[in-house]
Structure 1
Amino acid sequence: MTRSRLQRFLMIALAGAALAGAALATNYSLWINGRTGGGVAGNYADFTYWGPAGTAAGVNKKAVNWDGYNHISDQNYLVRNALDCFCTGSNWCYIAAHSAGDLMIGYTLSLYGGTSRYKKNASPGSDGSCANSDGSTQTGWNIKWVNVAAGAGGGSELANAGDWALSEPLVSDLKTGTARALYDHNNTRAKMFYMWAGAKGTLYSFVLPGQDDEAVAYHSAGGVSGSGGGSYCNPSDWLCNDLTLGTAATEGGTAKWSNHSVVFRDTAEAYNHYTSGNWQGTVGLVRADMVQNAQ
Protein backbone atom coordinates (compact mmCIF):
# COMPACT_ATOMS: atom_id res chain seq x y z
CA MET A 1 0.00 0.00 0.00
CA THR A 2 1.43 3.40 -1.01
CA ARG A 3 1.81 6.17 1.54
CA SER A 4 -1.02 8.22 -0.02
CA ARG A 5 -3.37 5.22 0.01
CA LEU A 6 -2.39 4.44 3.60
CA GLN A 7 -3.06 8.02 4.65
CA ARG A 8 -6.44 7.92 2.93
CA PHE A 9 -7.28 4.62 4.61
CA LEU A 10 -6.37 6.04 8.02
CA MET A 11 -8.44 9.17 7.41
CA ILE A 12 -11.47 7.09 6.47
CA ALA A 13 -10.99 4.84 9.52
CA LEU A 14 -10.70 7.83 11.86
CA ALA A 15 -13.78 9.46 10.32
CA GLY A 16 -15.70 6.22 10.76
CA ALA A 17 -14.66 6.00 14.39
CA ALA A 18 -15.74 9.59 14.98
CA LEU A 19 -19.13 8.92 13.40
CA ALA A 20 -19.54 5.79 15.47
CA GLY A 21 -18.78 7.75 18.63
CA ALA A 22 -21.25 10.45 17.64
CA ALA A 23 -23.92 7.83 17.01
CA LEU A 24 -23.54 6.61 20.58
CA ALA A 25 -24.32 10.05 22.01
CA THR A 26 -27.85 10.12 23.43
CA ASN A 27 -30.08 12.77 24.97
CA TYR A 28 -32.34 11.95 27.93
CA SER A 29 -35.20 13.69 29.73
CA LEU A 30 -35.03 13.16 33.50
CA TRP A 31 -38.12 13.77 35.66
CA ILE A 32 -37.49 14.40 39.38
CA ASN A 33 -40.55 14.03 41.62
CA GLY A 34 -41.51 16.01 44.70
CA ARG A 35 -43.11 15.28 48.07
CA THR A 36 -44.97 11.96 48.55
CA GLY A 37 -42.98 10.17 45.83
CA GLY A 38 -44.81 7.16 44.43
CA GLY A 39 -42.42 5.55 41.97
CA VAL A 40 -39.99 2.74 42.79
CA ALA A 41 -36.50 4.07 43.52
CA GLY A 42 -34.04 2.96 40.86
CA ASN A 43 -36.78 2.09 38.34
CA TYR A 44 -36.46 4.75 35.67
CA ALA A 45 -39.53 3.47 33.81
CA ASP A 46 -41.91 3.94 36.77
CA PHE A 47 -43.87 7.17 36.21
CA THR A 48 -46.46 6.50 38.95
CA TYR A 49 -45.89 9.96 40.46
CA TRP A 50 -46.57 11.75 37.19
CA GLY A 51 -49.21 9.88 35.20
CA PRO A 52 -49.44 7.30 32.42
CA ALA A 53 -45.95 6.14 31.45
CA GLY A 54 -46.89 6.12 27.77
CA THR A 55 -47.44 9.91 27.72
CA ALA A 56 -44.84 11.82 25.72
CA ALA A 57 -42.58 13.83 28.03
CA GLY A 58 -39.34 14.57 26.17
CA VAL A 59 -36.74 12.46 24.44
CA ASN A 60 -35.86 9.15 26.17
CA LYS A 61 -37.73 10.09 29.34
CA LYS A 62 -36.63 8.63 32.68
CA ALA A 63 -38.34 8.88 36.07
CA VAL A 64 -35.79 9.74 38.76
CA ASN A 65 -37.71 8.37 41.71
CA TRP A 66 -36.97 9.19 45.35
CA ASP A 67 -39.29 8.61 48.28
CA GLY A 68 -40.53 12.19 48.73
CA TYR A 69 -40.49 11.63 52.49
CA ASN A 70 -36.95 11.64 53.88
CA HIS A 71 -34.44 14.48 53.99
CA ILE A 72 -33.10 15.81 50.69
CA SER A 73 -29.58 14.91 51.83
CA ASP A 74 -30.55 11.29 52.57
CA GLN A 75 -32.25 10.68 49.23
CA ASN A 76 -29.91 12.71 47.04
CA TYR A 77 -27.75 9.73 46.07
CA LEU A 78 -30.62 8.50 43.88
CA VAL A 79 -30.53 11.69 41.83
CA ARG A 80 -26.75 11.55 41.56
CA ASN A 81 -27.03 7.95 40.37
CA ALA A 82 -29.39 9.03 37.60
CA LEU A 83 -27.25 11.97 36.53
CA ASP A 84 -24.16 9.76 36.50
CA CYS A 85 -25.97 7.14 34.41
CA PHE A 86 -27.50 9.36 31.75
CA CYS A 87 -25.68 12.70 31.82
CA THR A 88 -21.98 11.81 31.54
CA GLY A 89 -19.60 10.94 28.73
CA SER A 90 -21.16 11.75 25.36
CA ASN A 91 -24.72 11.80 26.74
CA TRP A 92 -26.68 14.92 27.67
CA CYS A 93 -29.77 15.52 29.78
CA TYR A 94 -32.77 17.79 30.02
CA ILE A 95 -34.15 17.98 33.57
CA ALA A 96 -37.77 18.44 34.67
CA ALA A 97 -38.60 18.78 38.36
CA HIS A 98 -41.76 19.26 40.38
CA SER A 99 -42.22 20.85 43.80
CA ALA A 100 -39.55 19.47 46.18
CA GLY A 101 -37.80 18.07 43.10
CA ASP A 102 -36.67 21.67 42.59
CA LEU A 103 -35.01 21.59 46.01
CA MET A 104 -33.47 18.23 45.11
CA ILE A 105 -31.86 19.23 41.79
CA GLY A 106 -30.75 22.60 43.14
CA TYR A 107 -29.07 20.87 46.09
CA THR A 108 -27.43 18.36 43.75
CA LEU A 109 -25.92 20.94 41.42
CA SER A 110 -24.81 23.32 44.16
CA LEU A 111 -23.10 20.70 46.34
CA TYR A 112 -22.01 18.10 43.77
CA GLY A 113 -22.04 19.82 40.39
CA GLY A 114 -18.34 20.63 40.65
CA THR A 115 -17.19 17.17 41.73
CA SER A 116 -15.44 14.52 39.68
CA ARG A 117 -17.87 11.98 38.21
CA TYR A 118 -17.08 8.68 36.54
CA LYS A 119 -18.51 8.39 33.04
CA LYS A 120 -21.19 5.69 33.03
CA ASN A 121 -22.66 3.29 30.47
CA ALA A 122 -26.36 4.33 30.73
CA SER A 123 -27.37 0.72 31.46
CA PRO A 124 -28.72 0.82 35.02
CA GLY A 125 -29.01 -2.16 37.31
CA SER A 126 -31.99 -2.82 39.55
CA ASP A 127 -30.73 -0.29 42.10
CA GLY A 128 -30.56 2.48 39.49
CA SER A 129 -26.78 2.71 39.34
CA CYS A 130 -24.65 2.20 36.23
CA ALA A 131 -21.20 0.76 35.61
CA ASN A 132 -18.25 2.86 34.52
CA SER A 133 -17.91 3.15 30.75
CA ASP A 134 -14.17 3.57 30.31
CA GLY A 135 -12.75 4.51 33.70
CA SER A 136 -12.38 8.18 32.84
CA THR A 137 -13.99 11.05 34.74
CA GLN A 138 -15.46 14.48 34.13
CA THR A 139 -16.47 17.43 36.29
CA GLY A 140 -20.19 17.53 37.03
CA TRP A 141 -22.85 16.51 34.53
CA ASN A 142 -23.89 17.30 30.95
CA ILE A 143 -27.15 19.19 31.54
CA LYS A 144 -28.72 21.45 28.93
CA TRP A 145 -31.27 23.13 31.24
CA VAL A 146 -33.75 22.55 34.06
CA ASN A 147 -37.54 23.01 33.83
CA VAL A 148 -39.32 23.46 37.17
CA ALA A 149 -43.06 23.16 37.80
CA ALA A 150 -44.32 24.62 41.10
CA GLY A 151 -40.82 24.77 42.50
CA ALA A 152 -40.32 24.44 46.24
CA GLY A 153 -36.72 25.61 46.24
CA GLY A 154 -37.80 28.47 48.50
CA GLY A 155 -39.85 26.27 50.79
CA SER A 156 -43.50 26.51 51.78
CA GLU A 157 -45.32 28.25 54.61
CA LEU A 158 -47.42 25.09 54.93
CA ALA A 159 -44.33 23.39 56.36
CA ASN A 160 -43.79 26.35 58.70
CA ALA A 161 -47.36 26.22 59.96
CA GLY A 162 -47.56 22.46 60.44
CA ASP A 163 -50.18 21.87 57.74
CA TRP A 164 -48.16 18.86 56.59
CA ALA A 165 -47.25 15.90 58.80
CA LEU A 166 -44.47 17.10 61.07
CA SER A 167 -43.15 13.55 61.37
CA GLU A 168 -41.94 13.67 57.76
CA PRO A 169 -38.23 14.54 57.63
CA LEU A 170 -38.79 16.27 54.28
CA VAL A 171 -41.26 18.69 55.83
CA SER A 172 -38.50 20.11 58.04
CA ASP A 173 -36.44 20.71 54.87
CA LEU A 174 -39.42 22.47 53.28
CA LYS A 175 -39.71 25.16 55.95
CA THR A 176 -38.95 28.41 54.17
CA GLY A 177 -35.94 29.34 56.30
CA THR A 178 -34.46 25.84 56.08
CA ALA A 179 -35.02 25.41 52.33
CA ARG A 180 -33.41 28.76 51.55
CA ALA A 181 -30.36 27.95 53.69
CA LEU A 182 -29.98 24.33 52.58
CA TYR A 183 -27.55 25.20 49.76
CA ASP A 184 -26.44 28.13 47.61
CA HIS A 185 -29.40 28.62 45.29
CA ASN A 186 -27.33 30.97 43.12
CA ASN A 187 -24.84 28.20 42.34
CA THR A 188 -26.57 26.32 39.53
CA ARG A 189 -23.27 25.53 37.80
CA ALA A 190 -24.41 27.94 35.05
CA LYS A 191 -27.47 25.78 34.26
CA MET A 192 -30.67 27.74 33.61
CA PHE A 193 -33.70 26.99 35.77
CA TYR A 194 -36.93 27.80 33.90
CA MET A 195 -39.82 28.29 36.34
CA TRP A 196 -43.56 27.67 35.93
CA ALA A 197 -45.64 29.28 38.73
CA GLY A 198 -49.29 28.34 39.28
CA ALA A 199 -51.87 30.52 41.05
CA LYS A 200 -55.05 28.44 41.42
CA GLY A 201 -54.78 28.55 45.19
CA THR A 202 -57.87 28.58 47.40
CA LEU A 203 -57.61 26.13 50.28
CA TYR A 204 -54.51 27.55 51.99
CA SER A 205 -54.49 31.11 50.70
CA PHE A 206 -54.63 32.46 54.25
CA VAL A 207 -51.28 30.73 55.02
CA LEU A 208 -49.39 31.20 51.75
CA PRO A 209 -48.39 34.81 50.97
CA GLY A 210 -49.32 36.43 47.67
CA GLN A 211 -50.35 34.21 44.77
CA ASP A 212 -50.09 30.44 45.32
CA ASP A 213 -51.05 27.06 43.85
CA GLU A 214 -52.29 25.56 47.17
CA ALA A 215 -48.85 24.25 48.13
CA VAL A 216 -46.19 26.83 47.23
CA ALA A 217 -46.35 30.59 46.82
CA TYR A 218 -44.97 32.68 43.98
CA HIS A 219 -41.83 33.55 45.98
CA SER A 220 -40.75 29.90 45.73
CA ALA A 221 -42.24 28.90 42.37
CA GLY A 222 -40.72 32.06 40.87
CA GLY A 223 -37.20 31.53 42.24
CA VAL A 224 -37.20 34.77 44.23
CA SER A 225 -34.15 35.22 46.47
CA GLY A 226 -34.02 36.24 50.11
CA SER A 227 -33.84 34.57 53.49
CA GLY A 228 -37.65 34.37 53.86
CA GLY A 229 -40.68 34.13 51.63
CA GLY A 230 -42.08 37.41 50.34
CA SER A 231 -45.54 38.20 48.98
CA TYR A 232 -45.72 38.33 45.17
CA CYS A 233 -48.72 38.44 42.88
CA ASN A 234 -50.01 38.81 39.34
CA PRO A 235 -50.04 42.33 37.86
CA SER A 236 -53.82 42.53 38.33
CA ASP A 237 -53.43 42.29 42.11
CA TRP A 238 -52.59 45.67 43.63
CA LEU A 239 -52.12 44.31 47.15
CA CYS A 240 -48.57 43.00 46.64
CA ASN A 241 -45.59 43.32 44.32
CA ASP A 242 -45.63 41.62 40.91
CA LEU A 243 -43.71 38.45 40.14
CA THR A 244 -41.95 39.49 36.94
CA LEU A 245 -41.28 37.25 33.96
CA GLY A 246 -37.75 36.32 32.93
CA THR A 247 -34.72 36.87 35.14
CA ALA A 248 -35.58 40.46 36.12
CA ALA A 249 -36.01 41.43 39.75
CA THR A 250 -39.54 41.49 41.10
CA GLU A 251 -41.55 44.66 41.44
CA GLY A 252 -40.07 46.15 44.58
CA GLY A 253 -36.54 45.19 43.57
CA THR A 254 -35.97 41.72 45.05
CA ALA A 255 -33.72 39.71 42.74
CA LYS A 256 -34.36 36.20 41.56
CA TRP A 257 -31.65 33.64 42.21
CA SER A 258 -28.96 33.54 39.54
CA ASN A 259 -29.93 31.64 36.38
CA HIS A 260 -33.60 31.44 37.43
CA SER A 261 -36.11 32.66 34.85
CA VAL A 262 -39.91 32.74 35.13
CA VAL A 263 -41.36 31.55 31.82
CA PHE A 264 -44.94 31.09 33.06
CA ARG A 265 -46.90 33.21 35.54
CA ASP A 266 -50.49 32.04 36.02
CA THR A 267 -52.34 35.30 35.43
CA ALA A 268 -55.59 33.39 34.76
CA GLU A 269 -55.23 31.54 38.09
CA ALA A 270 -55.96 28.28 36.26
CA TYR A 271 -53.23 25.88 37.43
CA ASN A 272 -52.80 24.26 40.82
CA HIS A 273 -49.94 22.28 42.32
CA TYR A 274 -51.06 18.72 41.72
CA THR A 275 -50.36 16.19 38.97
CA SER A 276 -53.62 14.33 39.84
CA GLY A 277 -52.08 11.15 38.44
CA ASN A 278 -52.31 12.49 34.90
CA TRP A 279 -49.59 15.09 34.29
CA GLN A 280 -51.88 17.91 35.46
CA GLY A 281 -51.30 21.36 36.99
CA THR A 282 -48.19 23.25 36.00
CA VAL A 283 -46.55 19.86 35.38
CA GLY A 284 -48.73 19.62 32.27
CA LEU A 285 -47.25 22.87 30.97
CA VAL A 286 -43.71 21.68 31.64
CA ARG A 287 -44.48 18.36 29.95
CA ALA A 288 -45.62 20.20 26.82
CA ASP A 289 -42.43 22.25 26.83
CA MET A 290 -40.34 19.09 27.22
CA VAL A 291 -42.11 17.46 24.28
CA GLN A 292 -41.35 20.47 22.11
CA ASN A 293 -37.85 21.35 23.25
CA ALA A 294 -36.23 18.34 24.95
CA GLN A 295 -35.05 16.53 21.81
Structure 2
Amino acid sequence: MSTIRRTLMLGAMALAGALALAAQATNYSLWINGRTGGGQVHNHADFSYWGPATTAAGVNKKAINWDGYNNIANTNGIVRDALDCYCTGSNWCYVAAHSAGNLQIGYALSLYGTSARYKKTPSPNAGGQCSNSDGGTQTGWNIKWVNVAGGAAGGSELANAGDWALSEPLVADLKTSTARAMYNHNATGGRMFYMYAGASGTLYSFVLPGQDDEAIAYHSSGGISGSGGASYCNPSDWLCNDLTLGTAAAQGGRAKWSNHSVVFRDDAEAANHYTQGNWAGVVGRARADMAANAQ
Protein backbone atom coordinates (compact mmCIF):
# COMPACT_ATOMS: atom_id res chain seq x y z
CA MET A 1 0.00 0.00 0.00
CA SER A 2 1.40 3.39 -0.93
CA THR A 3 2.33 5.93 1.74
CA ILE A 4 -0.30 8.37 0.46
CA ARG A 5 -3.05 5.73 0.53
CA ARG A 6 -2.00 4.58 4.02
CA THR A 7 -2.07 8.19 5.22
CA LEU A 8 -5.51 8.76 3.74
CA MET A 9 -6.82 5.54 5.29
CA LEU A 10 -5.46 6.40 8.70
CA GLY A 11 -6.96 9.87 8.41
CA ALA A 12 -10.34 8.40 7.47
CA MET A 13 -10.20 6.00 10.41
CA ALA A 14 -9.33 8.84 12.80
CA LEU A 15 -12.21 10.91 11.44
CA ALA A 16 -14.59 7.96 11.77
CA GLY A 17 -13.47 7.47 15.37
CA ALA A 18 -13.97 11.13 16.15
CA LEU A 19 -17.44 11.08 14.61
CA ALA A 20 -18.32 7.96 16.59
CA LEU A 21 -17.27 9.64 19.83
CA ALA A 22 -19.26 12.74 18.91
CA ALA A 23 -22.30 10.59 18.22
CA GLN A 24 -22.00 9.07 21.69
CA ALA A 25 -21.76 12.46 23.42
CA THR A 26 -24.92 13.34 25.32
CA ASN A 27 -26.18 16.47 27.06
CA TYR A 28 -28.07 16.24 30.35
CA SER A 29 -30.11 18.68 32.44
CA LEU A 30 -29.56 18.19 36.17
CA TRP A 31 -32.07 19.55 38.69
CA ILE A 32 -30.82 19.97 42.29
CA ASN A 33 -33.57 20.39 44.91
CA GLY A 34 -33.59 22.60 47.98
CA ARG A 35 -34.74 22.30 51.57
CA THR A 36 -37.30 19.61 52.51
CA GLY A 37 -36.30 17.36 49.60
CA GLY A 38 -39.30 15.47 48.29
CA GLY A 39 -37.83 13.14 45.72
CA GLN A 40 -36.37 9.71 46.50
CA VAL A 41 -32.65 10.10 47.15
CA HIS A 42 -30.53 8.63 44.31
CA ASN A 43 -33.59 8.20 42.07
CA HIS A 44 -32.80 10.49 39.16
CA ALA A 45 -36.20 9.93 37.56
CA ASP A 46 -38.23 11.11 40.59
CA PHE A 47 -39.31 14.74 40.00
CA SER A 48 -41.87 14.86 42.81
CA TYR A 49 -40.04 17.83 44.40
CA TRP A 50 -40.56 19.85 41.21
CA GLY A 51 -43.73 18.76 39.47
CA PRO A 52 -44.86 16.37 36.73
CA ALA A 53 -41.92 14.49 35.23
CA THR A 54 -43.52 14.93 31.82
CA THR A 55 -43.02 18.71 31.92
CA ALA A 56 -40.28 19.97 29.61
CA ALA A 57 -37.29 21.06 31.68
CA GLY A 58 -34.23 20.60 29.47
CA VAL A 59 -32.71 17.79 27.47
CA ASN A 60 -32.40 14.41 29.23
CA LYS A 61 -33.44 15.87 32.58
CA LYS A 62 -32.35 14.18 35.80
CA ALA A 63 -33.53 14.92 39.35
CA ILE A 64 -30.48 14.97 41.61
CA ASN A 65 -32.39 14.22 44.79
CA TRP A 66 -30.75 14.74 48.17
CA ASP A 67 -32.66 14.77 51.44
CA GLY A 68 -32.95 18.56 51.85
CA TYR A 69 -32.44 18.05 55.57
CA ASN A 70 -28.80 17.33 56.44
CA ASN A 71 -25.76 19.59 56.19
CA ILE A 72 -24.40 20.50 52.77
CA ALA A 73 -20.99 19.01 53.62
CA ASN A 74 -22.59 15.66 54.51
CA THR A 75 -24.84 15.44 51.44
CA ASN A 76 -22.76 17.08 48.73
CA GLY A 77 -21.30 13.70 47.76
CA ILE A 78 -24.69 12.84 46.25
CA VAL A 79 -24.42 15.85 43.95
CA ARG A 80 -20.79 15.12 43.07
CA ASP A 81 -21.70 11.53 42.20
CA ALA A 82 -24.32 12.84 39.77
CA LEU A 83 -21.91 15.32 38.24
CA ASP A 84 -19.42 12.47 37.78
CA CYS A 85 -22.11 10.31 36.15
CA TYR A 86 -23.46 12.79 33.63
CA CYS A 87 -20.86 15.55 33.23
CA THR A 88 -17.60 13.74 32.43
CA GLY A 89 -15.99 12.22 29.37
CA SER A 90 -17.78 13.28 26.21
CA ASN A 91 -20.98 14.21 28.07
CA TRP A 92 -22.00 17.73 29.11
CA CYS A 93 -24.49 19.13 31.60
CA TYR A 94 -26.77 22.04 32.17
CA VAL A 95 -27.53 22.49 35.87
CA ALA A 96 -30.60 24.00 37.54
CA ALA A 97 -30.85 24.50 41.29
CA HIS A 98 -33.48 25.73 43.70
CA SER A 99 -32.99 27.32 47.11
CA ALA A 100 -30.39 25.29 49.08
CA GLY A 101 -29.55 23.47 45.85
CA ASN A 102 -27.64 26.67 45.09
CA LEU A 103 -25.38 25.91 48.04
CA GLN A 104 -24.92 22.35 46.78
CA ILE A 105 -23.68 23.23 43.29
CA GLY A 106 -21.67 26.21 44.54
CA TYR A 107 -19.98 24.07 47.19
CA ALA A 108 -19.18 21.32 44.65
CA LEU A 109 -17.65 23.69 42.10
CA SER A 110 -15.72 25.77 44.61
CA LEU A 111 -14.19 22.91 46.62
CA TYR A 112 -14.04 20.10 44.05
CA GLY A 113 -14.31 21.79 40.66
CA THR A 114 -10.58 21.54 39.97
CA SER A 115 -10.15 18.02 41.33
CA ALA A 116 -9.44 14.93 39.22
CA ARG A 117 -12.68 13.15 38.33
CA TYR A 118 -12.95 9.69 36.81
CA LYS A 119 -14.83 9.63 33.53
CA LYS A 120 -18.03 7.68 34.03
CA THR A 121 -20.62 5.71 32.10
CA PRO A 122 -23.94 7.54 32.71
CA SER A 123 -25.84 4.56 34.13
CA PRO A 124 -26.14 5.00 37.92
CA ASN A 125 -26.68 2.11 40.30
CA ALA A 126 -29.21 2.17 43.14
CA GLY A 127 -26.81 4.32 45.16
CA GLY A 128 -26.58 6.97 42.47
CA GLN A 129 -23.03 6.08 41.47
CA CYS A 130 -21.69 5.22 38.03
CA SER A 131 -18.86 2.96 36.95
CA ASN A 132 -15.68 4.24 35.34
CA SER A 133 -15.78 4.33 31.54
CA ASP A 134 -12.16 4.03 30.41
CA GLY A 135 -10.16 4.51 33.61
CA GLY A 136 -9.17 8.03 32.57
CA THR A 137 -9.65 11.20 34.57
CA GLN A 138 -10.35 14.83 33.84
CA THR A 139 -10.22 18.06 35.79
CA GLY A 140 -13.64 19.00 37.16
CA TRP A 141 -16.89 18.59 35.26
CA ASN A 142 -18.28 19.49 31.85
CA ILE A 143 -20.90 22.08 32.78
CA LYS A 144 -22.24 24.60 30.29
CA TRP A 145 -24.01 26.89 32.80
CA VAL A 146 -26.12 26.94 35.96
CA ASN A 147 -29.65 28.33 36.43
CA VAL A 148 -30.53 29.21 40.03
CA ALA A 149 -34.10 29.90 41.18
CA GLY A 150 -34.55 31.48 44.61
CA GLY A 151 -30.92 30.77 45.39
CA ALA A 152 -29.96 30.40 49.06
CA ALA A 153 -26.18 30.67 48.66
CA GLY A 154 -26.35 33.88 50.71
CA GLY A 155 -28.51 32.28 53.40
CA SER A 156 -31.88 33.33 54.79
CA GLU A 157 -32.84 35.48 57.74
CA LEU A 158 -35.56 32.92 58.46
CA ALA A 159 -32.80 30.56 59.54
CA ASN A 160 -31.21 33.33 61.63
CA ALA A 161 -34.49 34.04 63.39
CA GLY A 162 -35.42 30.41 64.06
CA ASP A 163 -38.49 30.44 61.83
CA TRP A 164 -37.51 27.00 60.53
CA ALA A 165 -37.17 23.88 62.67
CA LEU A 166 -33.91 24.25 64.54
CA SER A 167 -33.54 20.47 64.69
CA GLU A 168 -32.75 20.38 60.96
CA PRO A 169 -28.97 20.32 60.40
CA LEU A 170 -29.48 22.18 57.11
CA VAL A 171 -31.02 25.17 58.86
CA ALA A 172 -27.69 25.86 60.57
CA ASP A 173 -26.08 26.02 57.11
CA LEU A 174 -28.77 28.41 55.90
CA LYS A 175 -27.94 31.12 58.43
CA THR A 176 -26.66 34.07 56.44
CA SER A 177 -23.23 34.23 58.06
CA THR A 178 -22.70 30.46 57.73
CA ALA A 179 -23.88 30.17 54.12
CA ARG A 180 -21.70 33.07 53.01
CA ALA A 181 -18.59 31.68 54.73
CA MET A 182 -19.10 28.04 53.68
CA TYR A 183 -16.97 28.26 50.52
CA ASN A 184 -15.58 30.82 48.08
CA HIS A 185 -18.69 31.86 46.16
CA ASN A 186 -16.52 33.53 43.50
CA ALA A 187 -14.90 30.22 42.57
CA THR A 188 -17.29 28.79 39.98
CA GLY A 189 -14.64 27.39 37.65
CA GLY A 190 -15.70 29.97 35.10
CA ARG A 191 -19.26 28.66 34.92
CA MET A 192 -21.96 31.30 34.80
CA PHE A 193 -24.66 31.25 37.44
CA TYR A 194 -27.87 32.77 36.06
CA MET A 195 -29.99 34.01 38.94
CA TYR A 196 -33.80 34.10 39.10
CA ALA A 197 -35.04 36.27 41.97
CA GLY A 198 -38.70 36.18 43.09
CA ALA A 199 -40.40 39.01 44.97
CA SER A 200 -43.96 38.09 45.88
CA GLY A 201 -43.09 37.75 49.56
CA THR A 202 -45.51 39.10 52.15
CA LEU A 203 -45.68 36.55 54.96
CA TYR A 204 -42.16 37.09 56.32
CA SER A 205 -41.45 40.56 54.95
CA PHE A 206 -40.74 41.85 58.45
CA VAL A 207 -37.87 39.33 58.78
CA LEU A 208 -36.43 39.27 55.28
CA PRO A 209 -34.71 42.52 54.18
CA GLY A 210 -35.71 44.23 50.96
CA GLN A 211 -37.62 42.27 48.33
CA ASP A 212 -38.11 38.53 48.92
CA ASP A 213 -39.98 35.46 47.67
CA GLU A 214 -41.27 34.49 51.15
CA ALA A 215 -38.13 32.48 51.98
CA ILE A 216 -35.13 34.14 50.32
CA ALA A 217 -34.30 37.85 50.06
CA TYR A 218 -32.84 39.52 46.98
CA HIS A 219 -29.37 39.74 48.54
CA SER A 220 -29.15 35.95 48.23
CA SER A 221 -31.29 35.19 45.18
CA GLY A 222 -29.47 38.01 43.36
CA GLY A 223 -25.99 36.70 44.17
CA ILE A 224 -24.84 39.79 46.10
CA SER A 225 -21.40 39.38 47.67
CA GLY A 226 -20.30 40.21 51.20
CA SER A 227 -20.32 38.63 54.63
CA GLY A 228 -23.95 39.51 55.41
CA GLY A 229 -27.25 40.28 53.77
CA ALA A 230 -28.58 43.75 52.99
CA SER A 231 -31.78 45.24 51.59
CA TYR A 232 -32.20 45.21 47.81
CA CYS A 233 -35.39 45.95 45.94
CA ASN A 234 -37.03 46.53 42.58
CA PRO A 235 -36.49 49.92 40.92
CA SER A 236 -40.05 50.94 41.80
CA ASP A 237 -39.23 50.75 45.52
CA TRP A 238 -37.41 53.85 46.70
CA LEU A 239 -36.84 52.53 50.21
CA CYS A 240 -33.73 50.48 49.38
CA ASN A 241 -31.06 49.99 46.73
CA ASP A 242 -31.95 48.31 43.46
CA LEU A 243 -30.98 44.76 42.57
CA THR A 244 -29.49 45.31 39.13
CA LEU A 245 -29.81 42.96 36.20
CA GLY A 246 -26.77 41.24 34.70
CA THR A 247 -23.40 41.07 36.42
CA ALA A 248 -23.21 44.75 37.38
CA ALA A 249 -22.87 45.73 41.02
CA ALA A 250 -26.10 46.49 42.85
CA GLN A 251 -27.14 50.07 43.42
CA GLY A 252 -24.98 51.35 46.24
CA GLY A 253 -21.88 49.61 44.87
CA ARG A 254 -22.01 46.11 46.37
CA ALA A 255 -20.68 43.66 43.76
CA LYS A 256 -22.25 40.39 42.82
CA TRP A 257 -20.16 37.26 43.19
CA SER A 258 -17.98 36.52 40.17
CA ASN A 259 -19.80 34.86 37.25
CA HIS A 260 -23.22 35.58 38.79
CA SER A 261 -25.76 37.33 36.58
CA VAL A 262 -29.36 38.28 37.43
CA VAL A 263 -31.48 37.32 34.42
CA PHE A 264 -34.87 37.54 36.13
CA ARG A 265 -35.80 40.18 38.70
CA ASP A 266 -39.44 39.93 39.72
CA ASP A 267 -40.49 43.53 39.05
CA ALA A 268 -44.15 42.44 38.99
CA GLU A 269 -43.75 40.86 42.46
CA ALA A 270 -45.62 37.78 41.26
CA ALA A 271 -43.22 34.85 41.80
CA ASN A 272 -42.82 33.19 45.18
CA HIS A 273 -40.38 30.55 46.39
CA TYR A 274 -42.53 27.43 46.17
CA THR A 275 -42.88 24.85 43.39
CA GLN A 276 -46.32 23.73 44.68
CA GLY A 277 -45.77 20.38 43.00
CA ASN A 278 -46.18 21.96 39.59
CA TRP A 279 -42.93 23.77 38.67
CA ALA A 280 -44.51 26.93 40.11
CA GLY A 281 -43.13 30.15 41.56
CA VAL A 282 -39.73 31.45 40.55
CA VAL A 283 -38.74 27.88 39.59
CA GLY A 284 -41.15 28.20 36.67
CA ARG A 285 -39.03 31.00 35.21
CA ALA A 286 -35.87 28.91 35.38
CA ARG A 287 -37.68 25.86 33.99
CA ALA A 288 -38.90 27.78 30.94
CA ASP A 289 -35.33 28.81 30.18
CA MET A 290 -34.07 25.26 30.59
CA ALA A 291 -36.78 23.95 28.29
CA ALA A 292 -35.86 26.49 25.63
CA ASN A 293 -32.07 26.55 25.90
CA ALA A 294 -30.76 23.42 27.66
CA GLN A 295 -30.58 21.27 24.54
Give me the TM-score of the superposition, normalised by structure 2: 0.99
- Aligned match of 1:162: 162
TM-superposition CA deviations, 1:85-120 (whole Å, max 9, x none): 000011110000000000110011001101110000
The CA deviation at 1:3 is 3.8
Q: Describe how 1:71-82 pairs up with structure 2 within 5 A.
A: 71-82=71-82
The CA deviation at 1:181 is 0.4
The CA deviation at 1:25 is 0.7
- Kindly indicate whether residue 147 of structure 2 is the aligned counterpart of residue 140 of structure 1: no
Tell me which amino acid in the other structure corresponds to 1:130: C
In 1, distance between residues paired with 2:258 and 2:8?
A: 50
- Aligned match of 2:151: 151
In 1, distance between residues paired with 2:227 and 2:178?
A: 9
Tell me which amino acid in the other structure corresponds to 1:72: I
- Aligned match of 2:182: 182
- Aligned match of 2:253: 253
In 1, distance between residues paired with 2:122 and 2:266?
A: 37
What SS does structure 1 have at the residue aligned with 2:97?
Answer: strand
- Aligned match of 2:99: 99
- Aligned match of 1:60: 60
Tell me which amino acid in the other structure corresponds to 1:9: M
- Aligned match of 1:44: 44
Structure 1 segments unaligned to the other structure (5+ residues): none
- Aligned match of 2:284: 284
- Aligned match of 1:12: 12
In 2, distance between residues paired with 1:4 and 1:192?
A: 47
The CA deviation at 1:7 is 3.0
- Aligned match of 2:270: 270
In 2, distance between residues paired with 1:96 and 1:163?
A: 26
Q: Describe how 1:90-239 pairs up with structure 2 within 5 A.
A: 90-239=90-239
The CA deviation at 1:211 is 0.3
Tell me which amino acid in the other structure corresponds to 1:221: S
What SS does structure 2 have at the residue aligned with 1:151?
Answer: coil
TM-superposition CA deviations, 1:191-215 (whole Å, max 9, x none): 1100000000010000000000000
What SS does structure 2 have at the residue aligned with 1:49?
Answer: coil
In 1, distance between residues paired with 2:200 and 2:247?
A: 23
The CA deviation at 1:13 is 1.8
In 2, distance between residues paired with 1:110 and 1:5?
A: 50
Give me the TM-score of the superposition, normalised by structure 1: 0.99
The CA deviation at 1:14 is 1.7
The CA deviation at 1:18 is 1.0
TM-superposition CA deviations, 1:201-253 (whole Å, max 9, x none): 01000000000000000000000011111000000101100000011111111
In 2, distance between residues paired with 1:118 and 1:167?
A: 36
Tell me which amino acid in the other structure corresponds to 2:291: V
In 2, distance between residues paired with 1:68 and 1:5?
A: 61
The CA deviation at 1:82 is 0.3
TM-superposition CA deviations, 1:152-196 (whole Å, max 9, x none): 000000000000000000000000000000011111111110000
In 2, distance between residues paired with 1:248 and 1:12?
A: 49
In 1, distance between residues paired with 2:31 and 2:60?
A: 11
- How many residues matched? 295
